[in-house]
Every structure is written in C-alpha cells, then in structure tokens.
Amino acid sequence: MSVRVGISFPDALLAHIDVLIERKGCSRSELLRRATRLYFERKGRWDRIFALGRATAARRGLVESDVAAEIEAHRKPKRARR
C-alpha cells in the first residue's frame, strides 16, 4: 500500500533532485524512496557500530576521555611523520 504525502523543499534542493532524476531516469518519488531506504540502511549500520563501541568500552571499563586519549596517541606518530 502506498500513501501520498506532500513535502516542501527549498528551490535549490529541488533543482538538485531534478538533475538527479534526469540522470537516473526515475521519478522524484522513486528517487526519494531510494534515498530514504539508503538513509535507514546507513543509520542502522552506524547504530550497530556505535552500539558495538559502547559495549566494548563498557566491557573494558573505558570512559570517553580514555577513547579520546587513545585516538590522540594513535594520531601523534602520524603527524610526526609529515
């Protein structure tokens, strides 16, 4: 079942959408359906990645400042090589 909805876009964004539908050979509706599916797929992937990170941090007893310190320690040698 499909439901028709009205969506407002700024003119510049709608112009970008129209350029894409010309290239892809699809309708605005199809492009927006594809974009919405892609958004939810990627969001789900990132949600799982962050959940894994939180679980790993909890298991190791890490807090946010520990993670920031590890990132900085990893980046420092790379900056020194430049």
| Nearest residue to 28 via CA among 42, 40, 13, 41 | 13
φ, ψ of residue 2 to 5 degrees: the values are -120, 145
- Asked if pLDDT for residue 69 goes beyond 80, the answer is yes
According to the model, what pLDDT value does residue 67 have?
A: 84
Which two three-digit tokens encode residue 14?
């709608």
- Asked if pLDDT for residue 80 goes beyond 80, the answer is no
Q: Where are the domains of the chain?
A: 11-81
| Residue 78 confidence class, pLDDT cut points 50, 70, 90 | confident
- Half-sphere exposure at residue 65, Cβ-oriented, CA atoms within 13 angstroms: 0
pLDDT tens-digit readout, 5-58: 999 999 999 999 999 999 999 999 999 999 999 999 999 999 999 999 999 989
For 9, 11, 22, 82, the CA distances from 15, given in Å and listed in that order, are 9, 6, 11, 42
According to the model, what pLDDT value does residue 76 have?
A: 82
